[in-house]
Chains A and B, each alone.
Chain A
Amino acid sequence: GAVVSQHPSWVICKSGTSVKIECRSLDFQATTMFWYRQFPKQSLMLMATSNEGSKATYEQGVEKDKFLINHASLTLSTLTVTSAHPEDSSFYICSARPSGGGRTDTQYFGPGTRLTVL
């Protein structure tokens, strides 16, 4: 149980285009999902917190108009990279926190999406 999927697993796009990445919790409901970004040889950096039915909360330095987050249901959050540029090339990973949390407050991570912008 507690599986999180991401789609696509990798994507290559031209500079200036938009790319949508989906994060789904397959067997649980997630009121809160998180989006992280990982550059080569670097750690995961939190981009934003996505809450079902409300606006996402973005970390300092992350452009909300460039990285559009929609969390329309309890099992799906999407991240859209608008007008992508080569510097947006990165590994994007989402995590989902089961609704209700639980005693340990465990988060479950997706397998990541590799974005390459040409």
Chain B
Amino acid sequence: KQEVTQIPAALSVPEGENLVLNCSFTDSAIYNLQWFRQDPGKGLTSLLLIQSSQREQTSGRLNASLDKSSGRSTLYIAASQPGDSATYLCAVSKGNQAGTALIFGKGTTLSVSS
């Protein structure tokens, strides 16, 4: 059974810091991995999607890496801003084929102070 773990559960940083969020998963047979952002009481915003054959994806100040063999992914946020404060969720496909649901971690709640 696939399990997704995110460390740390919460993180507080001052504005401008670079930071890394960690995600690990127990079964390396995945189709893709996604990082999402969730604001309190809101739905999900997709940040980055990494196919199982890829090593990393970048979007603006965000960079996500994937090491499928070791079951790990990191989300790097550069020059953090107060607007980055949210919960960040890591999710992997339920299997190694397209069209499956996602298995989510519990998230890392980030607070960036000005």
Interface residues of A (CB under 8 A from B): 6, 32, 34, 36, 42-46, 49, 91, 93, 95, 97, 101, 103-112, 114
Contacts and interface: CB of A to CB of B under 8 A. Distances in A.
The residue among B46, B51, B93, B105 with the most chain A CB atoms within 10 A of its own CB is B46
Given A44-B104, A105-B32, A106-B49, A114 B41 contact: yes
Contacts of A32: 99
A105 B93 contact: yes
B106 A46 contact: no
Contacts of B102: 34, 44, 46, 95, 107
Interface residue SS majority, chain A: strand
B73 to A, nearest CB: 15
Given A34-B101, A44-B89, A109 B43 contact: yes
A24 to B, nearest CB: 14
Contacts, number: 54
Interface string B23-53: 0000000011000100001111010010100
A52 to B, nearest CB: 13
Contact of B104 (A43, A104, A110): A43
Interface residues of B, number: 24
Contact of A97 (B41, B51, B99, B103): B99
B51 A93 contact: no
A44 B102 CA distance: 9
A42 B106 contact: yes
Contacts of B94: 46
A70 to B, nearest CB: 18
